[in-house]
Amino acid sequence: MWGYKLLGMSTREFHLCYWGLLDYGLALGRLRRRHAARVAGGVPDALVLVEHPPALTMGRHGQAANLLAGPEELAARGVALYHVERGGDITYHGPGQAVVYPVLHLGQRGLGVRGLVEALLGAAQDTAAYHGVAAAHDPNRPGLWVGGRKLAAVGLAVKQGVSLHGLALNVNTRLEDFGLIRGCGLAASPTSLARELGRPLPLGAVGRHLVAALARRLHGQGRQAGNPSSRVG
């Protein structure tokens, strides 16, 4: 649970949107409407923070072989499958995960896809470090890692110059649900901040830190050494 209900607030350059726990399909529709409005110039750039009930999403380059459960098992476990326009393969969303979707006009910010991926991974890395977990990018594997365990995944789409989708950071996520998939086509174990620390964390506070860290990086502040991969997953 997020522990607060805040629909949104404006800053100088972003509209910060807190959607709480929201069904992935409903969130996707809302996200696409926001994207369309941003393309039309009717709204400012936005950073959306949300948590989803269990769901799987298959990106444009998704491989059916990386879905390890059949329709019956997914239905029995109440897990929906969505085919979406982001890059990357298959990934999992579920309770205890902080998900941030930047809906940004990249051209107006002088930002490329690689720069946005770097900002997202850097924000997740900053957030993990703040809570005492040392995470790092791996140029040979997409996402953010603690040793050989995957902590966060990134998947983006850019349509008409405006970004869609974003980053999922495992905070208190139920890691056994990742057994439904071969995440981003990789045979790797997932992890979470809770697993690494041996205790759960307040998801709302972690999520707000994540959004703040992303805003700082998009403003060009607080950048750390390193060059996260622009691959997604």
Measured between alpha carbons, how far is 231 from 113 in angstroms, rounded to an integer? 10
For the entire predicted model, the pTM comes to 0.88
Cα atoms in the Cβ-side hemisphere of radius 13 Å centred on 102 = 34
Length of the chain: 233
Query: Among all residues, which ones are annotated catalytic?
Result: 184
The mean per-residue pLDDT over the stretch 53-77 comes to 88
In a domain, 137, yes or no: yes
- Read off the pLDDT of residues 175-224 as tens digits, 9 standing for 90 and up: 999 988 876 556 678 999 999 999 999 999 999 999 999 999 998 733 33
Q: Which two tokens stand for residue 214?
A: 């992303």
Residue 229 falls inside a structural domain: no
* Residue 220 per-residue DSSP state: T
Predicted confidence (pLDDT) at residue 8 exceeds the cutoff of 70: no
Percent of the chain surpassing pLDDT 90: 67
223 occurs within a structural domain: no
Q: What is the mean pLDDT of the chain?
A: 87
Asked if residue 153 belongs to a domain, the reply is yes
Of 13 and 208, more confident: 208
Is the pLDDT at 110 greater than 70? The verdict is yes
Binned at pLDDT 50, 70 and 90, residue 39 comes out as: very high
Residue 79 and residue 180: Cα distance in Å, rounded? Answer: 10
Instruction: Report yes or no on 228 lying in a domain.
Output: no
- What is the edge-to-edge ordering of all strands in the sheet holding 55-58? 80-83, 55-58, 90-93
Residue located via tokens 């629909």: 7
Q: What is the pLDDT of residues 137-185, one digit of tens each?
A: 888 888 999 998 999 999 999 999 999 999 999 999 999 999 888 765 5
Residue-level pLDDT at 88: 82
In a domain, residue 55? The reply is yes
Structural domains counted in the chain: 1
Choose among 95, 100, 233: nearest CA to 173.
95
- Average pLDDT (125-135) is 98
How wide is the angle at C-alpha 161 spanned by C-alphas 215 and 156, nearest 5°? 60
Phi and psi torsions of 153, nearest 5°: -125, 145
**Residue 5: predicted pLDDT:** 36
**Top-ranked range on mean pLDDT: pick from 37-41, 86-90, 216-220, 229-233:** 37-41
Q: Give the CATH number for residue 33.
A: 3.30.930.10
DSSP codes joined into one string, 107-174: HHHT--HHHHHHHHHHHHHHHHHHTT---EEETTEEEEEETTEEEEEEEEEEETTEEEEEEEEESS--
- Flag whether 211 is in a domain: yes
Q: What domain range is 75 assigned to? A: 9-218
Residue 104 confidence (pLDDT):
97
Flag whether 159 is in a domain: yes
- 10 Å Cβ neighbour count for 13? 13
Q: For residue 102, what pLDDT band results from cuts at 50, 70 and 90? A: very high
Which is nearest to 59 in space by CA: 132, 169, 202, 168?
Answer: 168
